[in-house]
Structure 1
Amino acid sequence: MSGSGPAGKVTIAGLAQRLGMSKASISYALNGQPGVSEPTRARVLALAAELGWYPSSSARALSQSRSEAVGIVLARTPEEVGSESFYMNVLAGIEAILSEHDMNLMLRMVTPAPPPEPRRDLDVYRRWAGERRVDGVIVFDRFADDPRPQLLAGLSLPHVLVGAAEDAGPTPFGANTTVDQGADAATVVEAFHARGHRHIAYVSGPPGLTHEAARRAGIHSHASRLGMTAVFSTSDYTADDGGKATTAVVAGLAPGSPEFPTAIAYGNDLMAIGGLRALKRLGIAVPGQVSILSWDDSILCQLSSPAVAALARNTMELGRRSAALLLETIAGHQTANVAMAAGVLHRRESLANAAL
């Protein structure tokens, strides 16, 4: 007696015939549903494995009214995502949790639309919700007056905001993994202060992002508290633009002058490497005349010359916790914000005492 149908395809009907059971019982056993005993379920699964049978993901999703997929929409180019260690690590952490739960990841990258054009990512969320393509989404790069939380709540689409502010409240169908940017800013500023730096600079990503606004506020607050001054320059998270922003910070200033920043922090590793190259082109020694520090650690920071000091933030764990929180939200459980640990400073050659 065979458990196969036409062309050797293993079917539920074939399994039922071979085991002398109803098709309903076979379906319950294969899909982990109640209605059969554990010994019966074990018999069904053992035969299915022997015959190389796997349940249809589309049929299972239909029976459960779920897609078994999580979506991410990034308003970034593939080149930007592929070059930033932050995204690669967070995505790896997300995928690790999803694979444990046999969930799929749908990743869509859309080119940012300049104002006043409508944001292209919003249409993706609407289409996914309307077609029931995903069970929930993970949201990156929140900015001031961000329309996405309200849109997702209106679509009844479970979502998690990655790296939200600590005081970010939950929304309908939404939760947050939070990062205390003020605490990390204090670590950066105090590291500079302890080495005698009194005039510092911060090269940030786009200022409209809420986490960048929080970093700038934190740097300003802690620098003022310690009797330091800080200047700010914005970039787009790329190495080339980080170099341009660095040049703008030191343009026309002679090392040793009161306005010259003796230490520069960067919002990510790429900008730090771009800044390091720009300073070398300008003939400014690192760390002899300027110390530099990256807000993100990566292999680039570790292998550069000199090696760049950095905040070690467990970005893979950020991805894991964000994915786990979304799965809890999708399951209908009450969720609360999940706070991430503060970054830990890795001191390397680029961080030294201020020149006298």
Structure 2
Amino acid sequence: MSRSKRVTIADIARQAGVSPGAVSFALNGRPGVSEETRQRILAIADQHDWRPSSTARALVGARAGVVGFAVNRPARTLGTEAFFTDLIAGAQSALAQHRIGLQLVVVPSIDEEMDTYRRWRRANQVDGVFVLDPRDGDPRPALLRSLGLPSVTIGGQPSREDAPATIWIDDAAAADSVFGYLAGLGHRHIVYLSGPAEYEHARLRAGVLRGLSERGVVGEVLETDYSPAQVSAVMRMLLSRRERPSAVVFDNDVMAIAGLRITQEMGVAVPGELSLASFDDSVVTGLVHPAITCLTRDTFTLGERAAEFLLEQLDAPETLLDRTGPVPVLTVRESTGRPAVA
């Protein structure tokens, strides 16, 4: 077979001794061929470095063999958050087993995220998408329905009846394990440094903290943009008060490390004068001194399950039922202890 000529599905079918339809099923990861035949077809495609024609794919409505992930986060901070690197690695690991690619873009706003979905759909560039950070009044589910673009949301509670399928980790229960532990140690003034308040997980966590007022806990929620610079400024303000909180909980590990640095800058002993905890864990939180108490999540597995879920959704005629992700556990380290006696 001449290497100067573009290899087609028909060429692969002749060499494999099967129909072009069988080749299409195999290359798109669809049922209809045996696993032995699928592997033979894939090996021939690899041998000839076969890639689908984007023009032909758009004309016939065939699958792109790619799923999309538009992440609305500051590009400068994205690479420092272990949650995203682990989530993307897990998703990519599962997708690679099905020969499906992942197209990742970082967008500055939800409007740009929605424009990305429109562009992807017009060009038949992706078969489905992951959606992150559900929020109150979220406009994305309605848009995805109107576009006919399959999706799976990664969230902190079950989806509404008319919304796309969600793989979720109970953020309310997770928040209770963190805030409840601190309350059990005797802390009565706890500050939660959250990300943007419109995010579902921030709202759920804040609600759990405020609910501890029944146990005599004063819960204070301070919103940030996740950046170490803003977290540092807020921590300096907190530690300059006449009456400081006895515990601070951060939305992620990078925020927690930034907060720990400010306690060291201002000579505040952790945990002797202030306990610190984080809703995300990473290797670094266990290496700093003192090591930080964290909610440990198997985010790699969450990414794997989300990818498998999305691939199933692509073949399903209706919206699938929600699923739960791996349950997080509280990892207690040196940064938390009983509050100092006044």
**2:223 paired with 1:234:** yes
CA distance in 2, matches of 1:296, 1:37: 42
**2:41 paired with 1:52:** no
Between the aligned residues of both structures, percent identity stands at 31
CA distance in 1, matches of 2:42, 2:89: 32
Matched with 2:94 is 97
Within 5 Å, give how 1:145-224 maps onto structure 2.
145-166=137-158, 168-171=159-162, 174-221=164-211, 223-224=212-213
CA distance in 1, matches of 2:330, 2:307: 26
Are the equivalent residues in 2 in contact too, given 1:243–1:276 (CA < 8 A)?
no
The one-letter amino acid paired with 2:220 is: V
User: Shift in Å at residue 226 of structure 1?
Assistant: 2.2
Matched with 2:275 is 291
The one-letter amino acid paired with 1:296 is: D
CA distance in 1, matches of 2:43, 2:176: 60
User: Shift in Å at residue 196 of structure 1?
Assistant: 2.0
CA distance in 2, matches of 1:354, 1:5: 76
Matched with 2:248 is 264
Deviations 1:242-263 (A, max 9, x none): 222222333322xxxxx42111
TM-score (norm 2): 0.87
Are the equivalent residues in 2 in contact too, given 1:81–1:87 (CA < 8 A)?
yes
Deviations 1:259-290 (A, max 9, x none): 42111111111111111111111221111100
CA distance in 1, matches of 2:134, 2:15: 55
Aligned residues: 334
Within 5 Å, give how 1:3-14 maps onto structure 2.
4-5=1-2, 7=4
Secondary structure of the equivalent of 1:165? coil
- Match 2:233 to one of 231, 244, 250: 244
User: Shift in Å at residue 64 of structure 1?
Assistant: 6.7
The one-letter amino acid paired with 1:27 is: P
CA distance in 1, matches of 2:286, 2:121: 42
Secondary structure of the equivalent of 1:79? helix
**2:62 paired with 1:78:** no
CA distance in 2, matches of 1:105, 1:248: 42
CA distance in 2, matches of 1:56, 1:28: 16
**2:328 paired with 1:343:** yes
Greater displacement, 199-208 / 76-85: 76-85
Matched with 1:256 is none
The 1:310/1:8 distance shift into structure 2, 3 A limit, reads same
Deviations 1:183-239 (A, max 9, x none): 111111221122221221111111111110111001111x22322111121111122
Deviations 1:59-107 (A, max 9, x none): 8956671111101111223222111111111111111111111111111
**Larger C-alpha radius of gyration, 1 or 2?**
1
Secondary structure of the equivalent of 1:73? strand
Within 5 Å, give how 1:18-167 maps onto structure 2.
25=18, 27-32=20-25, 41=37, 45=41, 48=44, 52-58=47-53, 65-112=62-109, 119-166=111-158
Deviations 1:87-140 (A, max 9, x none): 111111111111111111111112238xxxxx2222111111111111111011
Matched with 1:354 is 339
Within 5 Å, give how 1:271-310 maps onto structure 2.
271-310=255-294
Secondary structure of the equivalent of 1:133? coil
Matched with 1:116 is none
CA distance in 1, matches of 2:85, 2:148: 28
The 1:332/1:312 distance shift into structure 2, 3 A limit, reads same
The 1:230/1:98 distance shift into structure 2, 3 A limit, reads same
The 1:37/1:354 distance shift into structure 2, 3 A limit, reads closer
CA distance in 1, matches of 2:292, 2:167: 27
The 1:107/1:6 distance shift into structure 2, 3 A limit, reads closer
CA distance in 2, matches of 1:66, 1:272: 42
Are the equivalent residues in 2 in contact too, given 1:264–1:290 (CA < 8 A)?
yes
Are the equivalent residues in 1 in contact too, given 2:154–2:168 (CA < 8 A)?
yes
The one-letter amino acid paired with 1:169 is: R
CA distance in 2, matches of 1:247, 1:319: 35
Secondary structure of the equivalent of 1:83? coil
Deviations 1:27-60 (A, max 9, x none): 34544479x99799599759948x9335433389
The 1:186/1:98 distance shift into structure 2, 3 A limit, reads same
Q: Gaps spanning 5+ residues in structure 2: where?
A: none
TM-score (norm 1): 0.84
CA distance in 2, matches of 1:43, 1:307: 48
